[in-house]
Structure 1
Amino acid sequence: MKWFTILVSVLMCGSVNAADKWRGLLEIQPNIFLTIGVNVDITKNEMTLDSPNQGSFGKTPTEFTVSETKISFKDTRIQAEFTGAIEGDKLVGSFTQGRVMPLTLHKLSEKDLMSLEFEGSYLGDLDLNGKPLPVVVQVAVVANGFYTSLDSPAQQSFGIPLNEFTIDNKRMTFSSNMIGAQFEGQLGKEGYQGKFVQGFEMPLTLKKKRL
């Protein structure tokens, strides 16, 4: 089964503090999500948008407003808009792009912000009968952890959810219930080097893509 991501940068969120980062999950298909990030700096009257699963960061919307109780946003380039109410450390609203979808964003804590060093795309090649099959592990920081997914571009398969993901400066591990696969690797000079298991073992090195 193939999963397709929205081919645009998605977005949104707000804060009444001087500068905050917010993240939320937009469900684009049943149990298939995109991570949406909004960075607000009231002192500079700036807002930028992130879509880590798509490798998109720091995009400026066409227009936006920030108040003590509400955030609204519109970007005519991707025909999308968002309006949400601030409820403590949450921004609760709806995102519209062709259809209306609920979207709740959470303000990242100091601990979450420290995890941003691991955010990004990790690329590698599986060896299938002598032919390379590129795979990409997408790592996005959300409140209290990560949201991660697996892409197989050559198979036009994107956004496969990963389970039990862990990462630090020594190792990376994950599994995927959807495709019955798992990976465990140790950090070396070329990236996280280990074994990808899906019925049988295959060597795999995952290296973080430079932005």
Structure 2
Amino acid sequence: MKWFTILVSVLMCGSVNAADKWRGLLEIQPNVFLTIGLNVDITKNEMTLDSPNQGSFGKTPTEFTVSETKIAFKDTRIQAEFTGEIEGDKLVGSFTQGRVMPLTLHKLSEQDLMSLEFEGSYFGDLDLNGKPLPVVVQVAVVANGFYTSLDSPAQQSFGIPLNEFTIDNKRMTFSSNMIGAQFEGQLGKEGYQGKFVQGFEMPLTLKKNVFNTL
């Protein structure tokens, strides 16, 4: 799945303390999604963009509009734009980049914001006949939970959806129906240490990458 081009090269790091965080899932292939985040402070007229499952945070678009009823942005560097209407805790609109795609974002609740401590990229190496195969678990917070996916950069495979993902300060578990794999690990000094099963068991330790959001 070589779709990993949208927004990847431009959502670099910045810094804004947003009053509200909005998150939504943009379907870029059937059942394959990209997490889009908007950080909006209406009182300060500020907005930044996030793409959490690409490790990109805090990018200010080239132009934007924020109000009590509407949020919109345009970024000429990626030839993309979004316009949405606020409906309670939902932001309903459309995202355009080459084609028009529906996109609904939800305002993160206090419980969702607490889950941000687990958001990020978790790196590890599978041992395939003595050769390391890097894998990355991408964890993005969305309303009422997480959206997670698996990358295998050496195989040019990105965004493999994960199912039944759980994480806390003790363990991480997930499965992937798409590739018939599962993982369960306990948190140790080096990360979440456990077994990755895909036909046979392989040891795997997943360590979180710490993003620089400054």
TM-score (norm 2): 0.91
**RMSD (CA atoms):** 3.2
Matches within 5 A, 1:72-87: 72-87=72-87
Deviations 1:123-155 (A, max 9, x none): 000000000000000000000000000000000
The whole-number CA distance in structure 2 between the counterparts of 1:9 and 1:151 is 17
Structure 1 pair 27–11 and aligned structure 2 pair: CA distance change class (3 A): farther
Structure 1 pair 99–12 and aligned structure 2 pair: CA distance change class (3 A): farther
The whole-number CA distance in structure 2 between the counterparts of 1:150 and 1:89 is 29
Q: Is the 8 A contact 2:13 2:57 kept in 1?
A: no
Deviations 1:80-126 (A, max 9, x none): 00001111100000000011000000000000000000000000000
The whole-number CA distance in structure 1 between the counterparts of 2:45 and 2:69 is 16
What runs of 5+ residues in structure 2 fail to find an aligned partner? 209-213
| Alpha-carbon distance, 1:13 to partner | 18
| Alpha-carbon distance, 1:42 to partner | 1.9
Which ranges of 4 or more aligned residues in structure 1 deviate by more than 6 Å? 9-18
| Alpha-carbon distance, 1:195 to partner | 0.2
Deviations 1:12-64 (A, max 9, x none): 99999981000000000000000000001122221011001110001111110
Partner of 1:151: 151
Between the aligned residues of both structures, percent identity stands at 97
Q: How many residues align?
A: 209
Structure 1 pair 202–17 and aligned structure 2 pair: CA distance change class (3 A): closer
Larger mean Cα displacement after TM superposition, 135-144 or 17-26: 17-26
Q: Is the 8 A contact 1:190 1:207 kept in 2?
A: yes
What runs of 5+ residues in structure 1 fail to find an aligned partner? none
Structure 1 pair 192–77 and aligned structure 2 pair: CA distance change class (3 A): same
Q: Is the 8 A contact 1:127 1:133 kept in 2?
A: yes
The whole-number CA distance in structure 1 between the counterparts of 2:187 and 2:70 is 43
